[in-house]
Amino acid sequence: MSVPTVRRRRLGAKLRALRGELTLDEVAERSEGLFVPSKLSRIETAKSATKAKDVEALLDLYATLGREVSDELRAALVMLTKDGDQRGWWNSYRDVLTPAYEDLISLEAEAESVSAWHLGAIPGLLQTAEYAREINRATAMSEAVAAQIDALVEVRLARQAVLTREKPLTMWAIIAEQALRSTVADENLMYEQLGRLLSMSKRPNVTIQVLRSEAPLHVGQLGTFSILGFGPHMDLDVAYTEGLASTPLYVEDRDKIAVYRTAWQRLASAAESVEASAVLIAQIRKSL
């Protein structure tokens, strides 16, 4: 990619934090010729990709300097060096994917969890093919996007493999009731989509709550967002929002991510319980 990816920025930020009070020159000197200041700067500022062996070497150095470098942190940072746009299945769809969307798919492939709030539509990871086709058609804002709907639907369905892989992504989705009651020309489309939600909610790694339409005013009315989690290393987490053009906008600042996390927790508290949500989904489905 011609611009720094989210993965590179997260990696660079964590390596910068581990460097602490040391200057780039001091790290270069202590590396005994493995690094020069300019290379370290490019890694920390995400101006260039780096290799796993370089990250390993830096972590070894920081560990000898007393920094806390656990096996879990090492694995997480090495994971971020992987160049997702070259190794992933989505590479064959680069003609229809924006760099930001490629970032999302790449991050989903490596994340441990996603906490999602969806105001007006069913989350992409839980959509049926026909619902995905209809929502893409309804939200297409250009003829170019409209012409790519088949490919975009294929991408959306392929993304869902993260929920059924050997070590599946853990998903906790809070969905506004209005999204469950969307009016479509073919009622069978929503019938099947709601059935998909019910079946997916039975998986141990998927939790679904519904926020009632009559709920008091809440922070979720400001828009849809999700938080991708990377296990115990919360400073690697990423929040993102989805705008009109369906292009994810990323939030990487720790304090701002904390705001999204608090907002999500408020929504989870305001929503129906998991059991009551399943009953409500089934009732809406039965009424179609």
Report pTM.
0.85
- Residue-wise pLDDT for 78-94, tens only, equals 888 875 434 578 888 98
- Block residue for tokens 């073919």: 186
**Residue 149 is inside which H or E element, if any?**
helix 149-159
Q: Is the confidence at residue 98, as pLDDT, over 50?
A: yes
The CB density around residue 214, as the number of other CB atoms within 10 Å, is: 6
Per-residue confidence at 7, pLDDT binned at 50, 70, 90?
confident
For the chain, the domains span: 6-82, 97-128+157-287
The whole-number pLDDT of residue 142 equals: 76
**Alpha-carbon span 44 to 41, nearest angstrom:** 5
- Residue-wise pLDDT for 194-221, tens only, equals 999 999 999 999 999 999 999 999 999 9
Closest CA to 194 of 68, 88, 73, 285: 285
**Alpha-carbon span 84 to 164, nearest angstrom:** 20
Report in angstroms the alpha-carbon separations of 38 from 41, 156, 218, 269.
Answer: 5, 39, 47, 48
Percentage of the residues of the chain whose pLDDT score is greater than 70:
95
CATH topology of domain 6-82: 434 Repressor (Amino-terminal Domain) (1.10.260)
- Residue-wise pLDDT for 11-57, tens only, equals 999 999 999 999 999 999 999 889 999 999 999 998 888 899 999 99
Sign of CA dihedral 128, 174, 165, 82: positive
Q: What does DSSP assign to residue 120?
A: S
CATH topology of domain 97-128+157-287: Endonuclease; Chain A (3.30.870)
